Amino acid sequence: MRITSQLICQAADQLKGFVGLNRKTGRYIVRFSEDAFGMDVADDGIIPASEFVWAPGHEQTMTLKRELIQLLLDQNIDDRINITEPLRVYMQRQEVPEILAVRQWVQG
């Protein structure tokens, strides 16, 4: 199967869980419920993993950040967070620039 940027973006949008910055340790942690972070992560700092990996780019674009995907990979919970083959290929292909995309919400 040929991995396209569209498949990579879809894989990023299918990530599961939530990410929060632990104020005590200064490290990002992943949980599977917004209520599971406790007092060490501010409520307004909890973000779905599928949004965490995207950073604002120029104008209306967003960048799929390898650095942020790596933070999720470092948690060693790939299956639970739903890191799939397209994201693994994206991480391995360092010679290819990070993906810039215009993202739109599609209600399904």
Answering whether pTM is above 0.85, one says: yes
Question: Model confidence at 106, in pLDDT bands (50, 70, 90)?
Answer: low
**Which residue shows structure tokens 């917004």?**
34
> Could you give the CA distance from residue 92 to residue 89 in angstroms, rounded to a whole number?
5
**76-105, pLDDT tens digit by residue?**
898 999 999 999 999 999 999 999 999 866
pLDDT class of 107 with cuts at 50, 70, 90:
low
CA–CA gap between residue 72 and residue 69 (Å, rounded): 5
CA-based torsion, 30, 25, 51, 76: positive or negative: negative
